Amino acid sequence: MKQTVILLIGILVSTTTFSQNKANELYTSGNANFNSGNFEEAISDYTELMELVNQKTVRKTCFINRGLSYDRIKKYDLAISDFTEAIKLDSTDMASFIDRGLSLMHAGQLEKAKEDYKYVVVKNNNNGMMEAALYWLARINYSQGNFKDVINNCDRYFAINAKDPELYFIRGTANDMLGNFEQSIKDYDKAIEIIPNYVQATANRGTAKINLLTGNGNLQPSKRETKSACKDLKKAKELGDNAVDDLIYVYCDRIAEKKGN
């Protein structure tokens, strides 16, 4: 955004003094309104600015900022239209594809959103944009039950950013859904290594350990076998996750009671 502001001001110098001052005023007002959550006012500012200035870079910036404003007030079709106009003005800016993908996703047009994100991945000319595209592809594919695609998206994502606990969690849950419990445990290990009190990852790791035991035909694992899983489940409980209560009772407390008897 800092580069955009500098470029915009530099271009506006070529206009008349009055137009330059008015354009700078509108741009500053638009940004201030956007940052304050006054999105309708921001839209009005950017629209008026486009009526005043014809420079390609200025109009592109206005389409992007107005599109973001439309997205915030859930006028997704208008947001998509603005991002499309920005792309027409500069198809090399991958950020506009990311922004349009988000609005398409918010509008429920998941396949079209994936097309934008896949385009960014294919271009592969900006790690920051690649990271964003792969993140959202993983999220969309997970929502669609495409768990193998989720894992592939996450694998490529980690080649760029290996320190994102959320993506390790997402890949872990995808591996769980595919029955790859050994791999999901490793993913949760990574997530917890980054955020030690990551409650969802701790609960899922405990659950995956139980599933790994029972999935191998061991329907009544011993207390020794469930020790590590129970440690995770009880920690998740301490951290506020009450959804693990049944697992704790069946695989931790009841086993201990049986041994006591």
CATH number at residue 10: 1.25.40.10
Residue 252 to residue 210: CA distance in whole angstroms? 10
| Cβ neighbours around 247 below 10 Å, total | 21
H-helix segments, 90-164:
94-106, 110-123, 127-143, 147-158
Residue 107 lies in a domain: no
Residue 97 to residue 104: CA distance in whole angstroms? 10
Residue 153 lies in a domain: no
- CA distances (Å), 171 to each of 43, 101, 166, 236, in order? 38, 21, 9, 19
Q: Which of 59, 90, 121 is the last residue of a domain?
A: 90
CB-CB contact of 65 with 41 (8 Å): no
Residue 63 lies in a domain: yes
Q: Domain tally for the chain?
A: 2
Supply the pLDDT for residue 2: 28
Supply the pLDDT for residue 258: 52
Q: Which domain holds residue 186?
A: 174-261
Residue 118 lies in a domain: no
Residue 203 lies in a domain: yes
CB-CB contact of 119 with 89 (8 Å): no
Residue 123 lies in a domain: no
Residue 96 lies in a domain: no
User: In this prediction, what percent of the chain has a pLDDT beyond 90?
Assistant: 83
pTM of the predicted model as reported, rounded to 2 decimal places: 0.87
Q: Which of 90, 114, 143 is the last residue of a domain?
A: 90
Per the rule left: phi > 0, alpha: psi between -120 and 50, beta: everything else, 240 is left
B/e letters for 37-62, b = 16+ CB within 10 Å, e = fewer, are ebbebbbbbbebbbeebeeeebbbbb
Question: Which residue ranges in the chain fall short of pLDDT 50?
Answer: 1-15, 256, 260-261
Classify residue 122 as exposed, middle or buried by CB count within 10 Å of its CB (0-12, 13-18, 19+): exposed
CATH code of residue 212: 1.25.40
Residue 6 to residue 3: CA distance in whole angstroms? 5
pLDDT tens column, 99-145: 999 999 999 999 999 999 999 999 998 999 999 999 999 999 999 99
Supply the pLDDT for residue 7: 33
Residue 193 lies in a domain: yes
Taken in order 48, 53, 54, 55, is the CA torsion positive or negative?
negative
Q: Which of 90, 124, 145 is the last residue of a domain?
A: 90
